[in-house]
């Protein structure tokens, strides 16, 4: 009995130790970034982990001025939100058809989508740039959103298809007996049940659209349309970098992501757990 209690205490201690360690590893970069956002350039260069002698809140107005922070954050929010909406609206019907219908070509179509998951996104930069130049879509959010949607569709269809395949087909039969067509079945029954996996994919697509740099760098040249990643480059000149305002900009740009995650984290966790057993 004594040995059992001892082993249980050791196990509990190990669990707490791992939890605390993971919390420190997770929050330490955020804490360092926040502290650095209140320092001068000299203090940051002399010691990243030191406590500032005086809180330099001027970094935040400087970030708004140098990188047009509020506008660039708004631009990124717009691009990310529209991208996730378009991705979900296209991927859900596609996944429903692939998961529930038995047409002969669907298996081949599904494998084509899965091949899209394996394509390195940035190997298409030259092609995308040439297409954009030919179509005259430089500085066009519409084209940028379509590119983001195209590269997120494969993953979305993969996740949604696996989740829908794990749902009982009896739901479909009962709905059809009550007079539901495919559209009503998808929108009124399947989609509400799929909220956890939709929330998971929405977070993934939002993070991609909110923070992507390379495509925004080659497709957006108008400073008023800069997204966060593109505006971040404004802090670096030929010979100097404004580190304090840059860290302040990072903190400001994180706030929308944290708010969205706080609202959706339960559904995201449920979707991830369900994705581990469904499909």
Per-residue pLDDT tens over the stretch 14-24? 888 898 888 88
Secondary structure (H, E, C), the chain: CHHHHHHHHHHHHHHHHHHHHHHHHHHHHHHHHHHHCCCCHHHHHHCCCCCCCCCCCCHHHHHHHHHCHHHHHHHHHHHHHHHHHHHHHHHHHHHHHHHHCCCCCHHHHHHHHHHHHCCCHHHHHHHHHHHHHHHCCCCCHHHHHHHHHHHHHHHHHHHHHHHHHCCCCHHHHHHHHCCCCHHHHHHHHHHHHCHHHHHHHHHHHHHHHHHCCHHHHHHCCCHHHCCHHHHHHHHECCCCECHHHHHHHHHHHHHHHHHHHHHHHHHHHHHHHHHHHCC
Look over the chain and give the mean of its residue pLDDT values, rounded to a whole number. Answer: 85
List the single range of 65-79, 86-100, 177-191, 207-221 with lowest mean pLDDT: 177-191
183/178: higher pLDDT: 183
Q: Among 44-48, 148-152, 203-207, which stretch is predicted with the lowest mean pLDDT?
A: 44-48
User: Does 271 have pLDDT greater than 60?
Assistant: no
The predicted pLDDT at position 145 comes to 95
Q: In this predicted structure, what is the pLDDT of residue 90?
A: 94
Question: pLDDT at position 279, please?
Answer: 42
Q: What percent of the chain has pLDDT over 70?
A: 91
What is the reported pLDDT for 276?
43
Domains of the chain: 64-277 (1.10.3720.10)
Task: Read off the pLDDT of each residue in 124-150 and give the average, rounded to a whole number.
Answer: 92
Q: How confident is residue 143, by pLDDT bands cut at 50, 70 and 90?
A: very high
Higher pLDDT, 78 or 50: 78
């Amino acid at each position: 009995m004594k040995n059992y209690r001892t082993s249980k205490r050791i196990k509990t201690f190990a669990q707490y130790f791992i939890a605390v360690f993971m919390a420190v590893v997770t929050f330490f970069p955020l804490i360092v970034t926040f502290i650095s956002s209140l320092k001068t350039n000299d203090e940051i260069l002399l010691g990243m982990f030191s406590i500032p002698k005086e809180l330099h809140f001027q970094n935040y107005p400087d970030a708004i001025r140098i990188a047009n922070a509020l506008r660039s954050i708004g631009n990124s929010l717009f691009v990310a939100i529209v991208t996730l909406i378009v991705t979900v609206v296209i991927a859900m019907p596609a996944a429903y058809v692939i998961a529930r219908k038995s047409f002969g070509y669907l298996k081949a179509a599904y494998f084509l989508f899965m091949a899209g998951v394996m394509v390195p996104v940035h190997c298409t930069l030259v092609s995308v740039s040439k297409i954009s130049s030919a179509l005259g879509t430089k500085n066009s959010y519409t084209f940028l959103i379509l590119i983001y949607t195209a590269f997120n569709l494969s993953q979305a269809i993969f996740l949604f298809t696996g989740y829908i395949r794990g749902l009982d087909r009896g739901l479909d039969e009962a709905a059809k007996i009550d007079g539901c067509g495919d559209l009503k079945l998808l929108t009124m029954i399947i989609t509400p049940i799929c909220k956890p996996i939709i929330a998971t994919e929405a977070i993934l697509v939002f993070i991609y659209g909110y923070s992507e740099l390379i495509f925004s760098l080659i497709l957006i040249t108008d400073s008023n349309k800069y997204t966060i990643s593109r505006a971040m480059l404004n802090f670096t000149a030929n010979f100097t970098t404004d580190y304090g305002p840059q860290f302040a900009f990072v903190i400001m740009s994180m706030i929308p992501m944290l708010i969205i995650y706080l609202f959706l984290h339960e559904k995201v966790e449920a979707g991830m757990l369900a994705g581990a057993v469904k499909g």
